[in-house]
Chains A and B, each alone.
Chain A
Amino acid sequence: MINIFWYLPPLFLLVGLVYSGTKYDEWPAILRDAIWWQIRLLLFLSGLGLVVFLFSRFF
């Protein structure tokens, strides 16, 4: 059984592609926006994970 966190990257990819696809019509813009969304989601959740880790470690 794999860790459920491995489900996140494909989820980000699918959500990012659809969301970006509804914003633009041209493929370069869609792909650029989708990649940017992957980065933002990854940074946001990593930051959240870091905060939770720090709380669990020091408080």
Chain B
Amino acid sequence: MSSPNPETQPAELDFVAGFLSYLVPGLGQIKRGKIGKGILFFICVHALFFWGMALGQWKNVYLPRADDMGRYRKNELGLGISIPRPIWYRIPFVGQFCVGAAAWPALIQWYSYADETSAEYKPEDGGKGLPLLGTFMRTPTEADLNQLQTEGDKTWELGWIFTVIAGALNLLVIFDAFAGPTFPTPGPIRQRVPNKKEQGQVTAGT
């Protein structure tokens, strides 16, 4: 069995860098000292994500309460496994969530606003936005969604696909921050430092 080429040994695993790259794409690379790559990832992933949102008129990243969605579709996978209803109703959000903190406003809206799919929905609350977020990433009304999907061109769908692609790319970015690139730069050959036992043998032998 051949041993790995010492010139291209993989980088050490860095869990903190991986987590930082989840929070903000590219931040983990910056933490590892690869500032240029970090900035590249930050710009590219966010550009794709927000471009996708803009194509969907800023109404394609959201998480509905989906309290009453059981009557439309079952979220039971069998064997006692069930998927939370909001996720089951809006599966693309799983991909969008991978973009990191940029998608968290949808979670805040989900937590703080009872949308149309909620049992606690009050129509008079519809216009009230949150202090900083307003209605950003709030679940659109069914009328809005119907209008976007029937009267618009295909850009609403294309937009959410772009946001999901951005999330999928960020998974690669996270892994790059965590474990280094697929093909690491050949560096100087690192000599293995003998352990204490081996050092003792060498000393005894001389």
Q: Is the CB of B184 within 8 A of A25?
A: yes
- When the two chains form the complex, which single residue of A4, A15, A18, A25 contacts B158, counting CB atoms closer than 8 Å? A4
In A2-36, the 8 Å CB interface with B consists of 4, 7, 10-11, 14-15, 17-19, 21-27, 29-30
B57 at the interface (CB under 8 A from A): no
Q: A30 — which chain B residues lie within 8 A by C-beta? A: 37, 40
| Residues of B with C-beta under 8 A to A21 | 37, 40-41, 44, 173, 176, 181
Q: Which of B147-194 contact A (CB under 8 A)?
A: 153-155, 158, 162, 165, 169, 172-173, 175-176, 180-185
Q: Bound state CA distance, A1 and B34, in angstroms?
A: 40
Which residues of A have CB within 8 Å of B48? Answer: 11, 14-15
> Would you call B47 an interface residue if the criterion is a C-beta within 8 Å of the partner chain's C-beta atoms?
yes
Query: Which of B51, B55, B155, B176 is in CB contact (< 8 Å) with A22?
Result: B176
Query: Which B residues between 4 and 47 are near A, CB-CB below 8 angstroms?
Result: 34, 36-37, 40-41, 44-45, 47
Q: Within 8 Å CB of B41, what residues of A?
A: 18, 21
Closest to B175 in A: A22
What is the distance, in angstroms, from A45's C-beta to the closest C-beta of chain B?
A: 15
Report if A25-B181 is in contact (Cβ < 8 Å); known contacts: A14-B48, A18-B45, A18-B173. yes
Interface size on B, residues (CB 8 A): 28
Residues of chain A within 8 A of B181, CB atoms compared:
21-25
**Cross-interface CB contact of B40 among A10, A11, A17, A23, cutoff 8 Å:** A17
Please measure, in the bound complex, the distance between the C-alpha atom of A24 and the C-alpha atom of B8, giving whole angstroms.
12
**Complex contacts, A15 vs chain B, CB 8 Å:** 48, 165, 169
> B37 contacts A4, CB within 8 Å?
no
With a cutoff of 8 Å between Cβ atoms, the chain A residues found around residue B158 in the complex are: 4, 7
Within the complex, what minimum Cβ distance (angstroms) separates A36 from chain B?
14
**Residues of chain B in range 41-65 having any CB-CB distance to chain A below 8 Å:** 41, 44-45, 47-48, 51, 55
A-B contact pairs, 13 of them (CB 8 A): A7-B55, A11-B162, A14-B48, A15-B169, A17-B40, A18-B41, A18-B173, A19-B172, A22-B173, A22-B181, A23-B181, A23-B182, A25-B180
Taking A4-B155, A10-B51, A25-B181 as given, write out 9 further A-B residue pairs in contact, using a Cβ cutoff of 8 Å, ordered by the A residue number: A4-B154, A7-B158, A18-B44, A18-B169, A19-B172, A21-B40, A22-B181, A24-B182, A25-B34
List residues of chain B with CB under 8 Å of any chain A CB: 34, 36-37, 40-41, 44-45, 47-48, 51, 55, 153-155, 158, 162, 165, 169, 172-173, 175-176, 180-185
